[in-house]
Structure 1
Amino acid sequence: MKIRSLPVASALAFLLIGLAWVYLLLSETPRGQVKGTTVLTDASGKPLPGCDVYLTPATNYAEDDTETSAPPLFTGKDARERRRTITDDAGRFSLRDVPAGVYSLSASARWHSTPGVRITVDEGRTSENLLRLVRSEPDLSVGDHQATFATSETPFLPVRGYTTLPAVAGDAKQKKLLTVKIWRTRLSEVLKRDDAAADFNKLRYSYSGSPAVLTNALLRPSPGEAIPPKLIADSAVPITGADREGFFTNRLPLGAAKGKPGLYLVKYSYGKFSAASYVLVTDLAIVVKKSPSELVAYTAELQKGTPIPQASVRILRNGKTLAAGVSGADGVTRLSLPSSLAATGAESGIPTITMATFGDDEAVVNGTSYGSDSGSGGYVVHTVTDRTIYRPGDTVQYKGITRLRDDSTGERQKYSTPRGTPVSVEIRDATGGLVKRETKTTNNAGAFWGSVDISPEGSTGSYMMVTNVGGEQYTSDITVAAYRKPEFAVSVAALKPRFHRGETVEMALNATYYFGAPVAGAKVHYYVYRDADWSAEYGNASDDGDDYDTSYRDSAYSNYYGEAVGEGDITLDENGKAVVRVRTDIRHPGRVGNERTSESAEVLPQVESYTVTAEVKDQSQRSVDGEGVATVAASDLTVSVSPEGYVGAPGKPTQVFVSVRDAQKNPVPGVSVSLAAAYDEWDTKNKRSYTKPLGGPQTAATQQDGRAILSVTPTRNGELRLTATTKDSGGRPTRADASLWVASDAGDDLNTDYGDLSLLSDKRKYLPGDTARVLVNTSRIGQNVLLCVEGDRVYHTISLPVRKRSTVVRIPIKTEWGPNVSLVANYVRNKKFASSEIPLRVTLAARDLKVTVRPVNGDRYHPGDRVTYSVTTNTVSGRPVAADFALGVVDESIYALREDDPKALRRTFYPPRSNRVSTSFSFSVEYLGDVSKAEPSIKARTKFRDTALWLPDGRTDASGKATVTVTLPDNLTTWRTTVHAVSEETAVGYARTKVISSKPFFLRLETPRYLVGGDASRLSAIVHNETGREQRVQVRLVATSLRLGEKETQSVTVAAGSVGTVSWPVTLASNSSGAAALRVTAWTPKETGKESFTDGVEQSLPVRAYGRTDFTTFAGELGN
Structure 2
Amino acid sequence: MGTGLANADDSLPSSNYAPPAGGTFFLLADSSFSSSEEAKVRLEAPGRDYRRYQMEEYGGVDVRLYRIPDPMAFLRQQKNLHRIVVQPQYLGDGLNNTLTWLWDNWYGKSRRVMQRTFSSQSRQNVTQALPELHLGNAIIKPSRYVQNNQFSPLKKYPLVEQFRYPLWQAKPVEPQQGVKLEGASSNFISPQPGNIYIPLGQQEPGLYLVEAMVGGYRATTVVFVSDTVALSKVSGNELLVWTAGKKQGEAKPGSEILWTDGLGVMTRGVTDDSGTLQLQHISPERSYILGKDAEGGVFVSENFFYESEIYNTRLYIFTDRPLYRAGDRVDVKVVGREFHDPLHSSPIVSAPAKLSVLDANGSLLQTVDVTLDARNGGQGSFRLPENAVAGGYELRLAYRNQVYSSSFRVANYIKPHFEIGLALDKKEFKTGEAVSGKLQLFYPDGEPVKNARVQLSLRAQQLSMVGNDLRYAGRFPVSLEGSETVSDASGHVALNLPAADKPSRYLLTVSASDGAAYRVTTTKEILIERGLAHYSLSTAAQYSNSSESVVFRYAALESSKQVPVTYEWLRLEDRTSHSGELPSGGKSFTVNFAKPGNYNLTLRDKDGLILAGLSYAVSGKGSTAHTGTVDIVADKTLYQPGETAKMLITFPEPIDEALLTLERDRVEQQSLLSHPANWLTLQRLNDTQYEARVPVSNSFAPNITFSVLYTRNGQYSFQNAGIKVAVPQLDIRVKTDKTHYQPGELVNVELTSSLKGKPVSAQLTVGVVDEMIYALQPEIAPNIGKFFYPLGRNNVRTSSSLSFISYDQALSSEPVAPGATNRSERRVKMLERPRREEVDTAAWMQSLTTDKQGKAYFTFLMPDSLTRWRITARGMNGDGLVGQGRAYLRSEKNLYMKWSMPTVYRVGDKPAAGLFIFSQQDNEPVALVTKFAGAEMRQTLTLHKGANYISLAQNIQQSGLLSAELQQNGQVQDSISTKLSFVDNSWPVEQQKNVMLGGGENALMLPEQASNIQLQSSETPQEIFRNNLDALVDEPWGGVINTGSRLIPLSLAWRSLADHQSAAANDIRQMIQDNRLRLMQLAGPGARFTWWGEDGNGDAFLTAWAWYADWQACQALGVTQQPEYGNAANLLI
Bucket of the pairwise TM-score, normalised by the shorter protein = 0.5 to 0.7
1:669-688 matches, within 5 Å, as 673-674=565-566
1:344-743 matches, within 5 Å, as 345=284, 351-359=286-294, 360-368=296-304, 370-371=305-306, 373=307, 375-388=309-322, 397-405=331-339, 407=341, 412-413=342-343, 415-418=345-348, 420-428=350-358, 436=366, 440-443=370-373, 445-451=375-381, 462-469=392-399, 472-479=402-409, 485-487=414-416, 492=421, 498-501=427-430, 505-506=436-437, 509=440, 523=452, 525-527=454-456, 529=458, 531=460, 534=463, 537-540=465-468, 567-569=483-485, 571=487, 581-582=495-496, 604-605=502-503, 608-617=504-513, 620-633=516-529, 641-649=537-545, 653-659=549-555, 666=559, 673-674=565-566, 699-700=582-583, 708-712=587-591, 718-719=596-597, 727-728=605-606, 740-743=616-619
Residue 158 of structure 1 and its aligned partner are, at CA, apart by: 2.4
Matched with 1:98 is none
* 2:30 is equivalent to residue 146 of structure 1: yes
* 2:622 is equivalent to residue 749 of structure 1: yes
1:928-965 deviation line (CA, Å, top 9, x unaligned): 999xxxxxxxxxxxxxxxxxxxxxxxxxxxxxxxxxxx
SS of the residue corresponding to residue 794 of structure 2 reads coil
Matched with 1:127 is none
Q: What letter matches 1:285 in structure 2?
A: V
**Distance across 1 between alignment mates of 2:808 and 2:259:** 32
**Distance across 2 between alignment mates of 1:252 and 1:792:** 44
1:234-269 deviation line (CA, Å, top 9, x unaligned): 6341544179999845532223xx332222122223
SS of the residue corresponding to residue 140 of structure 1 reads coil
* 2:236 is equivalent to residue 301 of structure 1: no
1:874 to 752, 764, 768: 752
Checking the alignment, whether the CA contact within 8 Å between 1:427 and 1:463 is kept in structure 2 is: yes
**Distance across 2 between alignment mates of 1:180 and 1:651:** 62
SS of the residue corresponding to residue 622 of structure 1 reads coil
Checking the alignment, whether the CA contact within 8 Å between 1:510 and 1:578 is kept in structure 2 is: yes
* 2:741 is equivalent to residue 858 of structure 1: yes
Q: What letter matches 1:418 in structure 2?
A: I
Q: What letter matches 1:332 in structure 2?
A: T
* 2:642 is equivalent to residue 769 of structure 1: yes
Checking the alignment, whether the CA contact within 8 Å between 2:530 and 2:611 is kept in structure 1 is: no
Checking the alignment, whether the CA contact within 8 Å between 1:379 and 1:472 is kept in structure 2 is: no
Larger relative CO (CA 8 A, sep 6+): 1 or 2? 2
Checking the alignment, whether the CA contact within 8 Å between 1:379 and 1:469 is kept in structure 2 is: no
1:741-779 deviation line (CA, Å, top 9, x unaligned): 4336xxx33499777432222233332222232222222
Q: What letter matches 1:296 in structure 2?
A: L
SS of the residue corresponding to residue 149 of structure 1 reads coil
Residue 648 of structure 1 and its aligned partner are, at CA, apart by: 0.5
Checking the alignment, whether the CA contact within 8 Å between 1:143 and 1:159 is kept in structure 2 is: yes
SS of the residue corresponding to residue 292 of structure 2 reads strand
* 2:145 is equivalent to residue 269 of structure 1: no
* 2:700 is equivalent to residue 817 of structure 1: yes
Counterparts in 2 of 1:921 and 1:579: CA distance versus 1, 3 Å: same
Checking the alignment, whether the CA contact within 8 Å between 1:163 and 1:246 is kept in structure 2 is: no
Q: What letter matches 1:915 in structure 2?
A: N
SS of the residue corresponding to residue 188 of structure 1 reads helix
Q: What letter matches 1:817 in structure 2?
A: F
Residue 290 of structure 1 and its aligned partner are, at CA, apart by: 2.5
Residue 140 of structure 1 and its aligned partner are, at CA, apart by: 3.4
* 2:159 is equivalent to residue 232 of structure 1: yes
Counterparts in 2 of 1:578 and 1:163: CA distance versus 1, 3 Å: closer
Checking the alignment, whether the CA contact within 8 Å between 1:302 and 1:828 is kept in structure 2 is: yes
Residue 580 of structure 1 and its aligned partner are, at CA, apart by: 5.5
Matched with 1:40 is none
**What root-mean-square deviation, in Å, do the aligned CA atoms of Structure 1 and Structure 2 show?**
5.2
* 2:797 is equivalent to residue 918 of structure 1: yes
Residue 154 of structure 1 and its aligned partner are, at CA, apart by: 2.0
* 2:688 is equivalent to residue 805 of structure 1: yes
Matched with 1:202 is 83
Residue 532 of structure 1 and its aligned partner are, at CA, apart by: 6.5
Counterparts in 2 of 1:567 and 1:677: CA distance versus 1, 3 Å: closer
Checking the alignment, whether the CA contact within 8 Å between 2:567 and 2:604 is kept in structure 1 is: no
Checking the alignment, whether the CA contact within 8 Å between 1:306 and 1:782 is kept in structure 2 is: no
Checking the alignment, whether the CA contact within 8 Å between 1:721 and 1:737 is kept in structure 2 is: no
SS of the residue corresponding to residue 923 of structure 1 reads helix
Q: What letter matches 1:622 in structure 2?
A: Y
Q: Which ranges in structure 2 are unaligned for 5 or more consecutive residues?
A: 1-15, 46-50, 91-153, 173-190, 675-683, 810-1085, 1089-1094, 1106-1133
SS of the residue corresponding to residue 749 of structure 1 reads coil
**Distance across 2 between alignment mates of 1:274 and 1:583:** 68
SS of the residue corresponding to residue 148 of structure 1 reads coil
**Distance across 2 between alignment mates of 1:281 and 1:749:** 35
Residue 314 of structure 1 and its aligned partner are, at CA, apart by: 3.6
Q: What letter matches 2:752 in structure 1?
A: N
Checking the alignment, whether the CA contact within 8 Å between 2:641 and 2:726 is kept in structure 1 is: yes
**Distance across 1 between alignment mates of 2:418 and 2:635:** 48
Checking the alignment, whether the CA contact within 8 Å between 2:547 and 2:595 is kept in structure 1 is: no
Counterparts in 2 of 1:619 and 1:44: CA distance versus 1, 3 Å: farther
Residue 782 of structure 1 and its aligned partner are, at CA, apart by: 3.9
**Distance across 1 between alignment mates of 2:358 and 2:233:** 38
Counterparts in 2 of 1:763 and 1:391: CA distance versus 1, 3 Å: closer
Higher helix share: 2
SS of the residue corresponding to residue 298 of structure 1 reads strand
1:78-93 matches, within 5 Å, as none
Query: Which is higher, the Rg of structure 1 or of structure 2?
Result: 2
Higher strand share: 1
SS of the residue corresponding to residue 308 of structure 1 reads coil
Counterparts in 2 of 1:869 and 1:214: CA distance versus 1, 3 Å: farther
Matched with 1:787 is 660
Checking the alignment, whether the CA contact within 8 Å between 2:233 and 2:241 is kept in structure 1 is: yes
1:956-975 matches, within 5 Å, as none
Counterparts in 2 of 1:673 and 1:431: CA distance versus 1, 3 Å: closer
Counterparts in 2 of 1:739 and 1:253: CA distance versus 1, 3 Å: same
Checking the alignment, whether the CA contact within 8 Å between 1:464 and 1:478 is kept in structure 2 is: yes
SS of the residue corresponding to residue 380 of structure 1 reads strand
Residue 304 of structure 1 and its aligned partner are, at CA, apart by: 1.5
How many equivalent pairs are there? 704
Residue 143 of structure 1 and its aligned partner are, at CA, apart by: 3.2
**Distance across 1 between alignment mates of 2:609 and 2:443:** 40
Checking the alignment, whether the CA contact within 8 Å between 2:30 and 2:42 is kept in structure 1 is: no
1:423-454 deviation line (CA, Å, top 9, x unaligned): 44444566766555565322364421234577
1:810-830 deviation line (CA, Å, top 9, x unaligned): 233333333444433332111
1:392-428 deviation line (CA, Å, top 9, x unaligned): 8876543222123365xxxx34655436344444445
Counterparts in 2 of 1:284 and 1:138: CA distance versus 1, 3 Å: farther
Checking the alignment, whether the CA contact within 8 Å between 1:492 and 1:612 is kept in structure 2 is: no
Counterparts in 2 of 1:701 and 1:144: CA distance versus 1, 3 Å: farther
Residue 277 of structure 1 and its aligned partner are, at CA, apart by: 1.1
